[in-house]
């Protein structure tokens, strides 16, 4: 093995170790001393690599707290990796139909671990728009209608575990774990997630989960508007349109997965 190859492998190993150290403290952020202790790197080497990772968008440095967090580029990579069924492209026509019919803003939220990432936003023609999320933004599962939709479709024990571990994250949005639990319970009763001015006064959103063929929620589709436009009976009509698109997309995905799942081919003797 050449010296250049060895140096390259060593660099990759060091960067991976740093990212692992930061990911291990994803919620509270990792201090430089934590990263050095976890990786065994020399201080100068660690600071040089950390600066490069921040410059490249892989990490973010909170100057106020002096801690490192996973950066937006990594979140984008995670969302791209998670979108293995190409939901962004496959939902494009449906999102446009919803935006045209309702005239409001449609969001596609993809589950990425214990968070939901906004991977698509389609705006309708109504002049007052809900732009609370941009593509690439993430939120803890349970914050926002699309994110609540994903959470409420999970088993109870998983919901409780996620709520317990994300209390601090919820607080940054002005909500408690108990409040998120109530939103999950409300969504299950209604049959759709409802975020009624929980995050922004005057704005309401409804959402539904996209369920894969194994019964797991992989994404949430949501419509957001100013609250007067979500009053009944309009809200019921919007939810009905949303449900149509969710069913259409789930049906398409089930067919595609059936064709591509090796287990299915084995089961049918292929």
Domains belonging to the chain, first-starting first, are: 3-70 (1.10.10.10), 84-260 (3.30.450.40)
Supply the pLDDT for residue 228.
95
Is the bond preceding residue 20 a cis peptide, omega within 30 degrees? no
pLDDT in tens, 243-253: 999 999 999 87
CA angle (16, 19, 25) in 5-degree steps? 145
Half-sphere exposure in the Cβ direction for 86 (13 Å, CA): 7
pLDDT in tens, 177-195: 999 999 999 999 999 999 9
Q: Name which residue leads in pLDDT, 140 or 208.
A: 208
pLDDT in tens, 95-111: 999 999 999 999 999 99
Tokens 């019964």 appear where?
215
pLDDT in tens, 21-80: 888 887 788 999 999 999 999 999 999 999 999 998 889 898 767 899 888 777 667 666
Q: Which of 13-22, 172-181, 216-225, 259-268 has the lowest mean pLDDT?
A: 259-268
Between CA 202 and CA 226 the distance in angstroms is 6
| DSSP reduced 3-state for 254 | helix
CB 231 within 8 A of CB 197: no
């Amino acid at each position: 093995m050449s010296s250049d190859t060895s140096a390259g492998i060593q660099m990759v190993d060091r960067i991976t170790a740093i990212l692992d150290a930061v990911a291990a403290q994803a919620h509270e952020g990792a201090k430089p001393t934590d990263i050095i202790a976890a990786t065994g790197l020399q201080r100068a080497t660690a600071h040089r690599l950390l600066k490069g990772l921040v410059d490249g968008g892989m990490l973010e440095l909170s100057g106020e707290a002096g801690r490192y967090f996973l950066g937006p580029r990594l979140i984008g990579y995670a969302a791209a990796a998670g979108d293995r069924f190409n939901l962004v492209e496959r939902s494009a026509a449906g999102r446009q139909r919803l935006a045209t019919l309702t005239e409001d803003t449609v969001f596609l939220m993809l589950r990425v671990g214990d968070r939901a990432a906004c991977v698509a936003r389609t705006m309708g023609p109504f002049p007052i728009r809900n732009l609370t999320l941009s593509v690439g933004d993430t939120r803890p599962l349970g914050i926002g209608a699309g994110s609540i939709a994903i959470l409420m479709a999970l088993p109870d024990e998983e919901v409780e575990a996620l709520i317990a571990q994300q209390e601090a994250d919820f607080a940054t949005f002005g909500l408690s774990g108990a409040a998120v639990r109530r939103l999950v319970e409300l969504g299950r009763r209604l049959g759709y997630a409802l975020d009624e001015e929980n995050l922004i006064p005057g704005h309401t959103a409804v959402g539904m989960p996209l369920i894969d063929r194994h019964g797991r929620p992989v994404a949430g589709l949501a419509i957001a508007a100013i609250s007067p436009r979500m009053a009944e009976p309009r809200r019921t009509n919007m939810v009905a349109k949303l449900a149509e698109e969710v069913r259409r997309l789930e049906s398409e995905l089930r067919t595609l997965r059936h064709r591509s799942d090796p287990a299915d081919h084995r089961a049918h003797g292929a």
